[in-house]
Amino acid sequence: MTALAPAVRRRAPRMQGAATPWLFLAPALAAAVAFSLYPFANTVLLAFTDARTLSPGTFTGTDNFVRMVEDHRFWLALRNGGLYVLGVVPPLVLLPLLLALLVRDKGPGVGVFRTLFYTPVIASAVVVGLIWTWLLDSRGLVNGTLQALGAISGPVPFLTDEYLLLASAMLVTVWKGLGYYMVIYLATLDRVPKELHEAAQVDGAGAVRRFLVVTLPAMRTTMALISVLSAVAAFRVFTEVFILSGDTAGPGGRDITLVMLIREVSSGLDGNVGYASALSLVLFALTLFLLLAVLRLQSGASAPGRAGAAGRGRR
């Protein structure tokens, strides 16, 4: 870039060169400032006030953050967010890869499966949540079937037990996310050089072995990307828990997530906008932290990576 810049400048008049990129950028920048940067800055300011929906509020320093530390629902939300990340990220990194391997080769009927696996992704989260609610309800299909088979005596409280509800929501999140991440994997799978597979085959590696030493290392960057995407999404989960718990935060509010808490605190005519803004800031910081942590973990694992060493040894 630095080598090219003077050459460009010599050809074009200075003013023209300086203004043009900004003119091109202006509409996008204006939109970003109006709809992202400004609301963000506003949220930062409001976090230090006692603003309500209908009153502008006054500066209250760090009161909102002190209140947060004392708010047991905030800690519950953090716990649930953490559990959600732990429960959802591993399956969302591994299962779509297996699915992608299944439907990678073009054969008769594969297109149908690809489409089927992708369908939940385009379905509305609310519709999906409602369908699963009917399935998991105490009188729903799953409990009905299990009871008819005599597998259980009373209904399993999928939607009314603190942990089962969270697990059910995770199941929905994973089920709904599979297809999306599968497509990302499919795109990367096509880029793995065939020669590597052939070389491994010649060396006598079976299908499992080839998956471990050829496919998996080639997928590392994609896996990192998917862990980041799914972890951030998991921490900010709202719809699945909200719908499965019947628009509440689970029995006794024990399944609340940070986004649900923000919504509950801020909504309505007496919404506490200041406190909600402070919670949003914390969510933002935590998301950022999660992003950096996952990226760091992944880069740490791939730098002197074991698979890399194995690859070298093989050659």
Partner 1 sequence: MRTPATRAAAALAAAVLTASGCGLAAPGTGGAGEGGPVDGPADGAITFQTWNLKAEYEDFFTGVIEEFERANPGAQVRWLDQPAEGYADKLSADAAAGTLPDVVNVAPDLVHPLAEAGMVLDLDEARPGAAGAYTADAWEGFTVPGRDGTYAYPWYLNTGPVFYNRALFEEAGLDPDSPPTTYDELFDQALEMAEATDGGTAMLGQTPGIIDLGLYGSQAMNEDGTRFTFNDAAGVEMVERYKELYDAGALVPESLTQDYTGAGEQFMSGAIAWAPGSAYDLENFRTNAPDLYKNVGITEVITNTGRAHMYLQGLAVSAKSEEPATAAAFAEFVTNAANQEAFAHEVQIFPSTKGSLDDPYFTEEDGTDEGRVRVAAAAQLESATSYTPVVFGDQMQNLLRDEIALAMRGDKSPQQALDDAVDRCNALLEEG
| 142: helix, strand or coil | helix
Instruction: Report in angstroms how near the CB of residue 173 gets to partner 1 at its nearest.
Output: 19
Q: Which residues lie closer than 8 Å to 121 by C-beta, 6 or more apart?
A: 176, 177, 179, 180
Q: Is 273 in the site for partner 1 (CB under 8 A)?
A: yes
CA distance 113 to 304: 38
Q: Which is nearer to partner 1, 133 or 227 (CB)?
A: 133
Question: Of 253, 78, 107, 93, nearest to 188 (Cα)?
Answer: 93
Helix (H) or strand (E) holding 60: none
Q: Is 269 in the site for partner 1 (CB under 8 A)?
A: yes
Q: Which is nearer to partner 1, 122 or 269 (CB)?
A: 269
Binding partner 1 by CB under 8 A: which of 239, 250, 262, 294? 250
Q: Which is nearer to partner 1, 12 or 297 (CB)?
A: 12
| CA 264 vs CA 14, 40, 177, 189: distances in Å | 54, 20, 26, 43
Binding partner 1 by CB under 8 A: which of 38, 75, 113, 289? 38
Tokens representing residue 76 in the block? 């519950």
Residues 187-226 that bind partner 1 (CB under 8 A): none
Q: Is 55 in the site for partner 1 (CB under 8 A)?
A: yes
Q: Point out which span in 83-91, 98-106, 108-116, 246-254 binds partner 1 (CB under 8 A).
A: 246-254
Tokens representing residue 154 in the block? 């009373």
Long-range contact pairs involving 198-201 (C-beta distance under 8 Å, separation at least 24): 200/314
Q: Which residues lie closer than 8 Å to 15 by C-beta, 6 or more apart?
A: none
Binding partner 1 by CB under 8 A: which of 33, 94, 297, 309? 33
Q: Which is nearer to partner 1, 68 or 273 (CB)?
A: 273
Instruction: Report in angstroms how near the CB of residue 253 gets to partner 1 at its nearest.
Output: 4
Q: Which is nearer to partner 1, 235 or 255 (CB)?
A: 255
Query: In 170-191, which positions are buried (b, 16+ CB within 10 angstroms) versus exposed (e)?
Result: bbbbbebbbbbbbbbbbebbee
Q: Around Cβ 76, how many Cβ atoms within 10 Å?
A: 21
Tokens representing residue 202 in the block? 């010649």
Residues 107-146 that bind partner 1 (CB under 8 A): 137-139
Q: Which is nearer to partner 1, 29 or 297 (CB)?
A: 29
Q: Is 20 in the site for partner 1 (CB under 8 A)?
A: no
Q: Is 36 in the site for partner 1 (CB under 8 A)?
A: no
Binding site for partner 1 (CB under 8 A): 18, 33, 37-38, 41-42, 45-46, 49, 51, 53-57, 137-139, 154-155, 157, 159-160, 245-253, 264-265, 267-273
